[in-house]
A and B are shown apart, each in its own frame.
Chain A
């Protein structure tokens, strides 16, 4: 799936992504594809407005990572062992093979037709337990807090309105893993309220016709972590405070000079993207800091973004060696 097949909603009509929008999606995708061990890819971009730049680049990163093949069977086996090591009663979310979302509690391991299956209690009614095979167990994620179970039997909730759109953007063999597992494919450091708003109002679509199911929001791709909904899986995080994030993200986007000046040392290994709006008072200060690294630490330039730069966008990109 290429970004030039994506459309965006402009009031009541749909338009193909503009050059700058495609640029950010492709930049995010290229940064994931350009990753190398012991190397940090660093990109600085200056724009006339930061609006939507970070979320579009993040969408490119998330899609690129979701398209990678990551040894599904092995990881399912080890995840099954991990789940069986947790105490019975541990709250979990469960994205079932029927593309439904349920909550439950771990209820031990059983044998079914000669194979071990994970038992999950999904209802208070008679302690209803359901079986989950090893191949599907990546959809089971423990949750740190107590979640009440439904009183009656439940078929679960649909996985989300963006799923049909995602199905056109992500290889089908990876889609279930994408929906059911949490990870921080991209951390966006910036004003969370603004970023969430951009991700939720920005509507994208593929080969748009009257079929509404091929439409979704940028957040349908990003699946930003919602602190108020700990049972939801996520693929990216937006926050102003890097201390909110205990895990190491796969890539970091600094949306504006402030987060870069404050947090740039926290994750030295992941690829990083700094986005500066040239109308911001501290843009030059942040650029000066990046320029110093460019002049003193870069081991090579990086020039793998396909296509020419759109008007009004400036980009520098280089590689820095980092200790593993």
Chain B
């Protein structure tokens, strides 16, 4: 975000008042034919649509149309990933002739069209954008994509003819409050409500295929609200050639995330460490490069976040899990090196092994007690022995291997009484305090090292693409990656601790915009 300035704020208000927003329709007969056939299949399925099998099949079809509708690249460009998507769909429908014979021929015909399109070197959206922009003298052009994953290949593709005057990004870029000569958005209007509601250029062009049904919505947010004229409460988008008679329902291309499917796939996937770790409460975050990560959501859990707009010394902050939200930049270790625990152990030196053994001892005893008596009786036992803060959430936190000791000594003493090591309580409290202090020191070292790295990092690229790798020689080597958070799951889930903070790739069909 730029430094605040009343004049610049006034400019943004002026642009928002006078911006003209156009929708430009792009024709491509093979895709139109495919959309018609998918639309007919969708209509013909009727109640069968709720069947998990068809939900899966429709998800692949939807993803195909979503990707091609939002990416100005040749249709056979490898970064679109249409080939592997079709392969996964073919795997899913391998037995369709025996399971759903009435629909088999229709589905096969649809897939044949998808294969043909996926091999085509045409670039309908890219050509339309180039045609629109080649004759303009605009020098500051922002191209908006719905998803960040393909920003780099799109920029490379468009820059061949349009040069360096254009930037490619997602709607997050609008928050920076920069002003452009023109903003170009690829996809239907409902993918870019921010670009329409808070324009950052006097001209905004939205490119969509002619077969995409798209009724632009008013951009007013509040019930019972008023505004001057019809800019916020009426249609704001000028449509050059009317709307198509597309047979795909408007909802087909609505952005959606298959949260529960992602969670199930994660749990199904084998992981060698899972057997040895406990489950902790975590929230799933979608990241700008088409990956996702579980972040601990237990009370007190905090993650490193980068604020590219802050002064150098404030750029890296530890933020509570509950405060993480879309648009923030999360710092995660993606390869090798030491995490905070390893650094803390280095600070503890020769005492690390013994102290960690003591930490494991009381954790295991507490977990054994919970297993034997159940959480309810364990809570009662703790309260009877003087714990004032015993609650299910706190108990889970105390038993988690990451926590070192309770906040108050009375709670710690109650735990020691319950697990029959009361006489060791004062000594253990001191020992756990040593670990706590080592973690604080390690945290300070990590933060200082991250700040040093961020001083030289290309934050402009990070803001455009949503992802930036950097080496961390003073943090035990390896790679750290800054990711922009694109979305967060509405619910938390219990996840094996070994999966926390480890980004994993998401297939396109699980995250459609």
Q: List, in ascending order, chain A residues with CB within 8 A of B195's CB.
A: 279
Cβ of A188 under 8 Å from chain B = no
A281-324 interface code vs B (CB 8 A; 1 in, 0 out): 11110010011001100100100000011111111101000000
Whole-angstrom CA separation of A279 from B314 in the bound complex: 25
Is there an interface contact between A315 and B226, defined as CB atoms closer than 8 Å?
A: yes
Is there an interface contact between A48 and B221, defined as CB atoms closer than 8 Å?
A: no
A161-203 interface code vs B (CB 8 A; 1 in, 0 out): 0000000000000000000000000000000011001100111
Distance in Å from the Cβ of B359 to the closest Cβ of chain A? 30
Is there an interface contact between B220 and A48, defined as CB atoms closer than 8 Å?
A: no
From known contacts A11-B7, A52-B4, A277-B198, infer whether A301 and B221 are also in contact, taking CB-CB under 8 Å: no
**Which of B12, B221, B227 has most chain A Cβ within 10 Å?**
B221
Distance in Å from the Cβ of A55 to the closest Cβ of chain B? 9
Is there an interface contact between B221 and A46, defined as CB atoms closer than 8 Å?
A: yes
Distance in Å from the Cβ of A8 to the closest Cβ of chain B? 5
Cβ of B419 under 8 Å from chain A = no
A257-294 interface code vs B (CB 8 A; 1 in, 0 out): 01000000000000000001111111110010011001
Is there an interface contact between A313 and B223, defined as CB atoms closer than 8 Å?
A: no
Is there an interface contact between A316 and B224, defined as CB atoms closer than 8 Å?
A: yes
Is there an interface contact between A310 and B198, defined as CB atoms closer than 8 Å?
A: no
Is there an interface contact between A51 and B16, defined as CB atoms closer than 8 Å?
A: no
Q: List, in ascending order, chain B residues with CB within 8 A of A44's CB.
A: 221-222, 225
Distance in Å from the Cβ of A154 to the closest Cβ of chain B? 34
Q: List, in ascending order, chain B residues with CB within 8 A of A313's CB.
A: 227-228
Closest residue on chain B to residue A280 by CB atoms: B175
Distance in Å from the Cβ of A253 to the closest Cβ of chain B? 16
B383-413 interface code vs A (CB 8 A; 1 in, 0 out): 0000000000000000000000000000000
- Of A203, A284, A308, A316, the contact of B223 (CB 8 Å cutoff): A316
Is there an interface contact between B227 and A291, defined as CB atoms closer than 8 Å?
A: no
Is there an interface contact between B222 and A290, defined as CB atoms closer than 8 Å?
A: yes
Is there an interface contact between B4 and A198, defined as CB atoms closer than 8 Å?
A: yes
**Which of B9, B175, B233 has most chain A Cβ within 10 Å?**
B9
Is there an interface contact between B6 and A21, defined as CB atoms closer than 8 Å?
A: yes
Whole-angstrom CA separation of A137 from B1 in the bound complex: 45
| A residues 15-35 in Cβ contact with B at 8 Å | 18, 20-21
Size class of the B contact interface (CB-based, 8 Å) = 35 or more
**Which of A51, A279, A281, A298 has most chain B Cβ within 10 Å?**
A279
Q: List, in ascending order, chain A residues with CB within 8 A of B197's CB.
A: 46, 48, 278-279
B305-339 interface code vs A (CB 8 A; 1 in, 0 out): 00000100010000000010111000000000000
Is there an interface contact between A201 and B4, defined as CB atoms closer than 8 Å?
A: yes
Cβ of A10 under 8 Å from chain B = yes
Is there an interface contact between B221 and A310, defined as CB atoms closer than 8 Å?
A: no
- Of B7, B177, B222, B225, the contact of A10 (CB 8 Å cutoff): B7
Closest residue on chain A to residue B12 by CB atoms: A49
Is there an interface contact between B6 and A278, defined as CB atoms closer than 8 Å?
A: no
Q: List, in ascending order, chain B residues with CB within 8 A of A308's CB.
A: 228
Whole-angstrom CA separation of A298 from B222 in the bound complex: 14
Is there an interface contact between A202 and B6, defined as CB atoms closer than 8 Å?
A: yes
Is there an interface contact between A9 and B228, defined as CB atoms closer than 8 Å?
A: no
Cβ of B13 under 8 Å from chain A = yes
B190-233 interface code vs A (CB 8 A; 1 in, 0 out): 00011101111000000000000000000111111111110111
Distance in Å from the Cβ of A320 to the closest Cβ of chain B? 13
Query: With A46-B220, A280-B175, A280-B194 given, can you name 6 additional A-B contacts, CB distance below 8 Å?
Result: A10-B10, A49-B16, A277-B198, A280-B327, A287-B222, A291-B223
The 23 sampled A-B contact pairs (Cβ below 8 Å) are A8-B6, A10-B10, A18-B10, A44-B222, A46-B225, A48-B12, A49-B198, A51-B5, A52-B9, A193-B314, A203-B6, A277-B175, A279-B195, A279-B197, A280-B194, A282-B326, A283-B221, A284-B221, A298-B224, A311-B17, A311-B228, A312-B227, A314-B222
Query: What 4 A-B pairs are tightest by C-beta distance, nearest first?
Result: A48-B16, A311-B17, A278-B197, A279-B198
Interface set of B (CB-CB < 8 Å, partner A): 1, 3-10, 12-13, 15-17, 171-172, 174-175, 177, 193-195, 197-200, 219-229, 231-233, 310, 314, 323, 325-327
